[in-house]
Chain A
Amino acid sequence: MNAPRPDNPAPDRTAPTRRRFLKEMAGAAGGACLVSMGVGLVATEASARPATALRPPGALAEPDFLAACVRCGLCVRDCPYDTLKLSKLGDNVATGTPYFDARAIPCEMCEDIPCVVACPTGALDHELTDIGEARMGLAVLIDQETCLNFLGLRCDVCYRVCPAIDKAITLELMHNPRSDRHAMLLPTVHSDACTGCGKCEHACVLPEAAIKVLPHKLAQGQAADHYRKGWEEKARAGGSLIGDQTQLPMRGLEDRQYGDTRVAPDYTPAAPGGLNSGWKP
């Protein structure tokens, strides 16, 4: 295309040609480098994912997932419940990657896990064959002020819909200090069984769910490696690890077993008030 002008014979044309060539190359390389750096920045900046966007079952850890997923949508196609969506530009999830919003459509936890089977790149780990082992996120009862069970009611919906009922969510019986004579059954999530399917969040009867599925990074703390629980260590060792402790006498409790400070059932405190709050139905 860049044919030399015929009216300019220029006996030695190599030098200017080479100069122009180098200039053009430098321009192209520089431009391409700038564009790529911009793209790289955008990619890094935008790799933060909103907490409500959950990855399909078996998804690799987010950085590995973003490296492996080719954005083909085969998992989305094989999802029988239209749970999975491919993100569009503007969804704030890496463009073209699959995700689901538990509040909209939760994961139904198919036993054959078709989305994982469909993945051609291993971005969804094919080692996952038991959907109960999936960890899409972790349910967190995030707002105890609005949760109906925390208000003393028996809503229990999140507990009832949980596919791993009594394992991933249990109801823990607690004394209701407000009424003083009722129980509260508090939905409690257990990370060892919760798959993050999101059925609890989907089913929460409140206008804004009090229980939400969050990525593990947000939902979970991590104990330091060197922490030990004394009672576990004691049980494992079959006795105290620091030898027998000196037992000092306690005044007034000399007739009790060492460490037993429980108040007797028939004990009534001398001062008025006490345990009776005076509540009337």
Chain B
Amino acid sequence: MTTTTGTETPIPSRRPAIERPGHEAVEVKGWLRAHKWLLLRRLSQFGILGLFLAGPWLGIWIVKGNLSSSLTLDLLPLTDPFLFLQSIAAGTPPYKEAALGAAIVLAFYLLVGGRVFCSWVCPMNIVTDAAAWLRRRLGLKGGKVPSATTRYWLLAFSLVMAALTGSLAWEWVNPVSMLHRGLIFGFGLSWGIVLGVFLYDLLIASRGWCGHLCPMGAFYGLLGKPSLLRVSATKRSACNDCMDCFAVCPEPQVIRPALKAAGQAHPVILDKDCTNCGRCIDVCSKDVFRLTTRIDRSES
């Protein structure tokens, strides 16, 4: 990952574009349209967090619990399937409410894309997006990025560890559930782990946590592999190689096959790592990308 950015010839006039990707889109489409998906995403992230916080803060109990397992309006049970899987690996017989909750969540992400959790729900996304933004603005380069497959290994080993220790071993350190639980039930010292993730992403590895390490993201990625909702580079013929989409994309490797027809003919991004965040749609001044389904392979 690091070598690619390193081998790019630094053309002085290009630098602002890399540090502020999307400025051309702002000029062409206006600020609001060039931030549409980002704003919607933040709205979703803060909205979901708000629903969870409305109870303890305002006494309005719409949603109880946290992202690990919750109860909405005393009716709808939702359970994180990754946690559910861990607890089964640890040797707990599946319990009906947790199983039902996990099945609902599973069905939802199968439809809209597994990693929609990462970009539209997960509170850690706000932290790592902030780190990525700051890294771009400060022009920080280099560092040591682990292989992007590390997360799948971590996913496998977290389940093995659950089985070996007979407890939800990963949950002792999982920064994602820790952050969400911390926001709702109080942090203790776990803010330190969140700060650690921020600093890691800022100083050591660009998009290191969400893009390379997080086993939860890996789980949702695998889960959403056959999902329906997809981003497509429908107007890829209009691409002017400005590289803005690559600069903002948290998983830039997913764009190339669709945009540049590398290894596939159609323009739909089918990679499991794509988070459907829609930021590429925002920053493209040529409106190359749009949100569609995996069936729609049309090009214009």
Whether both chains belong to one complex is answered with: yes
Contact (A121, B87) CB under 8 Å given A35-B154, A39-B172, A43-B165: yes
Q: In this assembly, does A64 line the interface, its C-beta being within 8 Å of a C-beta of chain B?
A: yes
Residues of A within 8 A of B192 (CB): 89
- Quote the shortest CB–CB distance from B104 to chain A (angstroms): 12
- Quote the shortest CB–CB distance from A3 to chain B (angstroms): 7
Question: How far apart sit A74 and B56, CA to CA, in the bound complex (Å)?
Answer: 12
Contacting pair B157 A70 (CB below 8 A): no
Tell me which of A25-33, A152-160, A191-199 binds B.
A25-33
Contact (A28, B149) CB under 8 Å given A3-B4, A72-B68, A73-B184: yes
Q: In this assembly, does A77 line the interface, its C-beta being within 8 Å of a C-beta of chain B?
A: yes
Q: In this assembly, does A2 line the interface, its C-beta being within 8 Å of a C-beta of chain B?
A: yes
Residue of A nearest to B251 (CB): A1
Contact of A72 among B1, B69, B164 (CB under 8 A): B69
Contacting pair A88 B182 (CB below 8 A): yes
Contacting pair B173 A96 (CB below 8 A): no
Q: How large is the interface on B (under 10, 10 to 19, 20 to 34, 35 or more residues)?
A: 35 or more
Question: How far apart sit A121 and B65, CA to CA, in the bound complex (Å)?
Answer: 13
Contact of B166 among A27, A63, A78, A90 (CB under 8 A): A63
Contacting pair B70 A89 (CB below 8 A): no
Residues 59-92 of chain A: 1 if any B CB is under 8 Å from the residue's CB, otherwise 0?
Answer: 0000110111111111011100000001111110
Residues of B within 8 A of A46 (CB): 172
Within 8 A of B (CB), among A232-258: none
- The number of residue pairs between A and B whose CB atoms lie closer than 8 Å in the complex comes to 185
Residues 97-138 of chain B: 1 if any A CB is under 8 Å from the residue's CB, otherwise 0?
Answer: 110010000000000000000000000000000000000000
Contacting pair A43 B167 (CB below 8 A): yes
Contact (A89, B92) CB under 8 Å given A43-B169, A47-B167: no
Question: How far apart sit A72 and B181, CA to CA, in the bound complex (Å)?
Answer: 8
Q: How large is the interface on A (under 10, 10 to 19, 20 to 34, 35 or more residues)?
A: 35 or more
Contacting pair A96 B181 (CB below 8 A): yes
Residues of A within 8 A of B95 (CB): 68, 120-122
Question: How far apart sit A70 and B71, CA to CA, in the bound complex (Å)?
Answer: 14
Residue of B nearest to A76 (CB): B185
Residue of A nearest to B101 (CB): A120
Residues 173-192 of chain B: 1 if any A CB is under 8 Å from the residue's CB, otherwise 0?
Answer: 10001100110111111101
Q: In this assembly, does A118 line the interface, its C-beta being within 8 Å of a C-beta of chain B?
A: yes
Q: In this assembly, does B90 line the interface, its C-beta being within 8 Å of a C-beta of chain A?
A: yes
Contacting pair A67 B149 (CB below 8 A): no
Contact of B147 among A24, A63, A67 (CB under 8 A): A24
Q: In this assembly, does A52 line the interface, its C-beta being within 8 Å of a C-beta of chain B?
A: no
Q: Which residues of A contact B (CB under 8 A)?
A: 1-3, 5, 24-25, 27-29, 31-33, 35-37, 39-40, 42-44, 46-47, 63-64, 66-74, 76-78, 86-91, 94-96, 118, 120-123
Q: 10 closest A-B pairs (Cβ-Cβ)?
A: A88-B188, A32-B153, A36-B157, A72-B69, A67-B90, A66-B167, A122-B95, A90-B189, A28-B147, A43-B169
